[in-house]
Amino acid sequence: MTESAPYLEVGGPTSDDSSIDLNVLVVTTDQGRGDATAALRDHPELRIESTASPNEALDRLEEEPDIDCVVVSATALTGDGHSFPSAVRESHPGTPIVLAEWGKSGLLADQICREVRRCRGMSDLVGFREAVEHAGHAIMLTGRDGTIEYVNPAFEEITGYDEEEAVGKRPSLLKSGVHDAEFYVDLWQTILDGEVWEGQLQNRHKSGEVYPIEQTIAPIEDEAGNVVRFVAINRDISERVERERQLERSQKKYRSLIDAAPDAIVVADAETGEIVEVNRAAAELTGRSQSELVGSCQSILHPDDEYERYRQLFADHVESESAVIRELPDGTEIEVVNADGETTPVEINAQLIEVDGKQLFQGIFRDIYQRKVHERELRRQNRTLESFAHTVAHDLRNPLNVVQGKIELARNTGEGKFLEDAEQAANRMERLVEEVLELAKQGRTVLESEPVSLETCAETAWEVVDAPGGVLLVESDIQLMADETRLYELFENLLSNAVEHGGTGVSIRVGALDDGFYVADDGPGIPTDRRDRIFESGYTTSADGTGFGLAIVKQIIDAHDWEVAVTESTTGGARFEVTGVELRD
Amino acid sequence: MDSDDSEQSTVLIVDDEPALVTTFAAWLESEYDVRQATCAEEAREKLSGADIVLLDRKMPDTTGDELLEEIQARDVDVEVGMLTAVEPDIDDMDMSFDAYEVKPIGSEELLSLVQSLEQRATYGDQLRELYTLAVKRATLIDTQGEAELAESPKFASLTRRLTELRERTDESLREFTGGKYDAAFRMLRESDND
């Protein structure tokens, strides 16, 4: 330990630091006491107590643990006193003993200070070593050339090599092979330059297993500033790295879950409205990249001209913490606007969450465009159904009224012809009910297209149409892709329609078009202004018609995704052209 | 109203269902001079001189609704009762008919309908309007849902107008004491027809 060692600053007579006092116990015979105290008189930093008895001195040492030094005169060591020094060393190994006759008065005081410093230094070193031995980190001392000079027990625990195996070897003993030469060159360069190297690296355990450590290597310099050794402190960070990996994995999992979510997820700072996180669906919904969204204000999601209303909505829901928001306060749809200015109706499941002490607003945006479309379609269908029901009710009420009226007339007059009329009307009601059921069935039937012969289908349908003087001429034998049963029904209704309006002697021609077929008759034809109404349910211009035949035809055409047009035949009759049909040679 | 030499009123039945036209005609024949039409064209020909028209709504070509508009446009003085299988909706009350009945209808109901139209023909404008509004309101109450009517501004305004007219009519009547209602009606009729 040199004078400059930091452990103790004790002022001798030459020292200008007199703030630290030493307690000195002087053991001397009564005659020698005067000499000893006289020798230390000029040193006020030394607090002197004295005793003539070595035994009493031992007691004092027990009682007063802050005695720094024992000064003993040779005279006191005579007789029983001869064992006093060894007794002190045993009971107080850190307390130095100085002979009172050591020298002149000034020298004695110096000697006391030196001895105290030496003893304290020793005990600090012991403590230091103790600390190194028990440190949880692996500590390795190497020479300047890298040869290992010392390793602590933790080193063995972490590396698998004990002191005997490690000392004399070089740190390359621990190399994992994961890092390239450049890595080690850089490391050595740093420490040889007298700098501290800090970093993470992979080492190989004696068992072969590679593990991560966090290492600090500090150069130790001599008094001239030359690097003479290195101390390396290694900390096994396997657990930490594993924890980090797990965290990363779980973050990745969380990220991919969020990203894979079909709904757009937007997390924004509840206070500022700044978007802090979005998923892929949010990018798709808004037509903006994830990086563009993050950092923007949440108002970027909504139409510009509605800025204030959405800002208020956001603020209100930050207050209410959690809610499903389906509309703005005035009942209008919540909309998200994309980069092209197009809007999408959404429903927002909003939740206030706290992350790292920050209030965040998490909004799950569900695109409800399809739902809205379905709702509209449902409403449309309901309206259609309602109008259909009205039509049916209307068309049943007329013949019903005839039945009731004719029965009443028959009852009043006793004439049987009224009953015949009533029966006819009742028959019409029956036919109507059947056709309504038929019409309802059309919508349900799943179509299975197969090649069907136009000729066979039309002629089979013609057989059941009651038209004794009528003629059907099929001018083509093409095959077309259709649901055979439905096509048959289509012909039955079209041909019946021709007979209904053109009479039982009607002449009908069926033939092929480029992408379909036609049915033309020589009846009275359909006036232009009525052509767009004839397919409506219940529309009829015939006293016997139910008005459902052509509605059925239209449904069959729609179900096949075909088109139908009504024109005039060469003879001035009606001509139905069905197109969009897939033909087979 | 065109006056006829006979005491019987003339009723024109317009319906594209011939069996129904003949049935209605058979029911009315004993008390009215009945004309029959199964399409708008025929109805136009037979309209002149008719006091009452029973008009079907859904007919091919010209519908009953269109024919009613024609009658109004030509300012034909005739009472029109819609006699149809169509359930009316609130908007239908904008049409200028005088009565609305949904088929099926029996002989007694039909006679009572024609009688009330015949009676109405003798009223002044104020009573006619009162009658028409009352008929329209009753028709709506019979055919529409309560909730739907409660939400309809049209129904509300119809009800308001009816209440107003009722009060005015009541006032007119109160001027005549001693239950001399015949005199009161005469007065209303005369003053309205001025």
CATH number of the domain that A567 lies in? 3.30.565.10
Q: Answer yes or no: do A153 and A83 share one domain.
A: no
Distances from the Cα of B158 to the Cα of A4, A185, A259, B117, B137, angstroms? 113, 100, 59, 20, 7
At B72, the amino acid letter reads: Q
Q: Would the pLDDT of B6 be above 80? A: no
Total domain count for chain B?
Answer: 2
Residues B6-18 have a mean pLDDT of: 88
pLDDT at residue B191, rounded to an integer = 45
| pLDDT tens per residue, range B61-70 | 788 999 999 9
Nearest-Cα residue of chain B relative to residue A542: B60
- A530–B87 CB contact, under 8 Å: no
Q: How confident is residue A318, by pLDDT bands cut at 50, 70 and 90? A: confident
CB contact residues (below 8 A), chain B span 51-90, against chain A: 58, 60-61, 84-87
Same-domain status, A353 and A292: yes
Residues of chain B with Cβ-Cβ distance to A425 below 8 Å are: 19
Q: Which pLDDT does position A64 carry in this prediction?
A: 87
B104 and chain A in contact, CB less than 8 A = yes
In a domain, B132, yes or no: no
Same-domain check for residues B111 and B148: no
Does residue A122 sit in the same domain as residue A169? Answer: no
> Band of the pLDDT at A52, cuts 50, 70, 90?
confident
Of the candidates A394, A401, A424, which has its C-beta nearest B58's C-beta? A394
Whether chain A has a CB inside 8 Å of the CB on B14: the answer is: no
Where a domain ends, among A334, A365, A396?
A: A365
* Residue A53 maps to a domain: yes
* B106 and B142, same domain (yes or no): no
Q: Are residues B101 and B24 in the same domain?
A: yes
**Smallest CA–CA separation between B49 and chain A, in Å?**
27
Residue B178's pLDDT band, with cuts at 50, 70 and 90, is low
Domain range for B153 is: 138-193
pLDDT at position A61 over 70: yes
Q: How confident is the model at residue A89 (pLDDT cuts 50, 70, 90)?
A: confident
Poorest-confidence range of A33-42, B74-83, B125-134? Answer: A33-42
Q: What is the 3-state secondary structure (H, E, C) of A353-422?
A: EEECCEEEEEEEEEECHHHHHHHHHHHHHHHHHHHHHHHHHHHHHHHHHHHHHHHHHHHHHCCCHHHHHH
Pair (B112, B170) in one structural domain: no
Span of A78-92, A95-109, A189-203, A471-485 with lowest mean pLDDT = A95-109
CA–CA dist B155, B128 (Å, integer): 19
Same structural domain, A89 and A150: no
What is the domain range of residue A55?
Answer: 22-132
What percent of chain B is predicted at pLDDT more than 70?
A: 86
pLDDT in tens, A203-214: 999 999 999 999
CB contact under 8 A, A401 and B61: no
Q: Is the pLDDT of residue B177 over 70?
A: no
Residue of chain A minimizing CA distance to B57: A394
Domain end, chosen from B89, B121, B153, is at B121
Q: How many domains does chain A have?
A: 5
- Report if residue A6 sits inside a domain: no
- pLDDT average, residue stretch A144-172: 90
Q: Is residue B176 part of a domain?
A: yes
In a domain, B130, yes or no: no
Least CB–CB distance from B103: residue in A401, A530, A539? A401
pLDDT of res. A8: 37
State which of A409, A431, A453 marks the end of a domain. A431
Give residue A219's identity as a one-letter amino acid code. Answer: P
Together in a domain, A47 and A90:
yes
pLDDT at A116: 86
Query: Within a domain: residue A440?
Result: no
Say if B24 falls within a structural domain: yes
pLDDT at A380: 84
Residue B128 lies in a domain: no
CB of B42 less than 8 A from some CB of A: no
What pLDDT sits at residue A403?
Answer: 93
CA-to-CA dists, residue B105 to A4, B16, B83, B102, angstroms: 128, 16, 9, 7
Q: How confident is the model at residue B180 (pLDDT cuts 50, 70, 90)?
A: low
Q: Is there a contact between A401 and B26 if contact means CB atoms under 8 Å apart?
A: no
Q: What's the CATH number where A216 sits?
A: 3.30.450.20
pLDDT at A36 over 50: yes
What pLDDT score does A46 carry? 84
Residues of B in contact with A400 (CB under 8 A): 103-104
A166 pLDDT above the threshold of 60: yes
Residue A3 pLDDT class (50, 70, 90 cuts): very low
When pLDDT is averaged across residues B33-59 and rounded to a whole number, the result is 94
B131 within some domain:
no
Kindly identify which residue of chain A lies nearest to residue B39, measuring between CA atoms: A541
Long-range own/partner contacts, residues B182-189 (CB < 8 A, 24 or more apart): B185/B127, B188/B123, B188/B124, B188/B126, B188/B127, B189/B122, B189/B123, B189/B124, B189/B127
From the candidates B13, B15, B20, which should be mutated to test the interface with A, based on the most A CB atoms within 10 A?
B20
Residue A3, domain member (yes or no)? no
pLDDT in tens, A450-506: 999 999 999 988 988 888 889 999 999 999 999 888 898 899 889 999 998 898 899
Domain boundary among B69, B95, B121: B121
pLDDT of residue A495: 94
User: Which of the listed residues B121, B155, B179 is the one where a domain comes to its end?
Assistant: B121
What is the three-state SS of A185-240? Answer: HHHHHHHHCCCCEEEEEEEECCCCCEEEEEEEEEEEECCCCCEEEEEEEEEECHHH
What is the DSSP pairing of strand A210-221 with strand A197-204? antiparallel
User: What are the φ and ψ backbone dihedral angles of A93, each rounded to 5 degrees?
Assistant: -60, -20
Residues A330 and A402 in one domain: no
Q: Are residues B56 and B116 in the same domain?
A: yes
Q: Is B103 on the interface with A (CB under 8 A)?
A: yes
Indicate the range of A338-342, A368-372, A446-450 predicted with least confidence.
A446-450
Query: Are A401 and B23 within 8 A, CB to CB?
Result: yes
Contact B16 A401 (CB under 8 A): no
Structure-model confidence comparison of residues A280 and A7, the more confident one: A280
Q: If you average pLDDT over residues A424-440, what whole number do you get? A: 83
Q: Are B105 and B21 in a shared domain?
A: yes
- Does residue B109 sit in the same domain as residue B39? yes
A58 & A126 share domain: yes
ipTM value for the complex: 0.75
Residue B107 predicted with pLDDT over 80 = yes
Please tell me the predicted confidence (pLDDT) of residue A77. Answer: 81
Q: What tokens were used for A143?
A: 């020479």
- Determine the pLDDT at residue A14: 41
Interface test with B, best of A390, A398, A409 (most B CBs within 10 A): A398
Contact A409 B23 (CB under 8 A): yes
Q: Considering the domain boundaries, does residue A255 fall inside one?
A: no
CA A220 to chain centre: 49
Closest CA to A401 of B72, B41, B24: B24
Taking residues A40-53, what's their average pLDDT? 82
Does the beta carbon of B19 lie under 8 angstroms from any beta carbon of chain A? yes
Residues A455 and A579 in one domain: yes
Q: CB A425 to CB B105 under 8 A?
A: no
DSSP 3-state of A431: helix
Q: What pLDDT is attached to residue A19?
A: 45
Given this model, what pLDDT does residue A545 score? 67
> What CA–CA distance (Å, rounded) separates A473 from A490?
17
- Residue A304 is predicted with a pLDDT of 86
Confidence of residue A228 (pLDDT cuts 50, 70, 90): confident
Residues B110 and B34 in one domain: yes
- At A308, the pLDDT band (50, 70, 90 cuts) reads confident
Q: What is the CATH number of the domain that holds B60?
A: 3.40.50.2300
| Residue B24 pLDDT > 90 | yes
| Strand, coil or helix: A584 | strand
Residues A147 and A44 in one domain: no
Q: For position B189, what pLDDT does the model report?
A: 53
Among candidate residues A132, A149, A183, the one where a domain is terminated? A132
What's the rounded Cα separation, in Å, for the pair A57 and A88?
9
- Note whether A421 contacts B19, CB cutoff 8 Å: yes
Rounded to a whole number of angstroms, the distance from the CA of A467 to the nearest CA of chain B is: 23
B126 part of a folded domain: no
CA neighbor of A317 nearest in space, from A366, A268, A278, A283 = A268
A139 shares its domain with A117:
no
Q: How far is it, in rounded angstroms, from Cα A206 to Cα B100?
A: 105
Higher-scoring residue by pLDDT: A10, A35 = A35
Residues A471 and A549 placed together within one structural domain of the fold: yes
pLDDT tier at B187 (50, 70, 90 boundaries)?
Answer: low
- The rounded mean pLDDT for chain A is 85
Within 8 A of B17 by CB-CB distance, chain A residues are 398-399, 401-402, 543
Query: Are A449 and A561 members of one domain?
Result: yes
The residues near A522 (Cβ < 8 Å, ≥ 6 apart) are: A502, A506, A507, A508, A569, A571, A572, A573
- Is A363's pLDDT higher than 70? yes
Query: Is B114 part of any domain?
Result: yes
What band does A140 get if pLDDT is binned at 50, 70 and 90? very high
**At residue A18, does pLDDT exceed 50?**
no
Q: Which range among A214-228, A235-249, A303-317 shows the weakest confidence by mean pLDDT?
A: A303-317
A383-400 pLDDT, tens digit each: 877 877 887 888 788 889
Residue of chain B whose Cα is closest to the Cα of A386: B87
Looking at the fold, whether B75 and B109 belong to one and the same domain comes out as yes
CB atoms < 10 A from the CB of A276, how many?
17
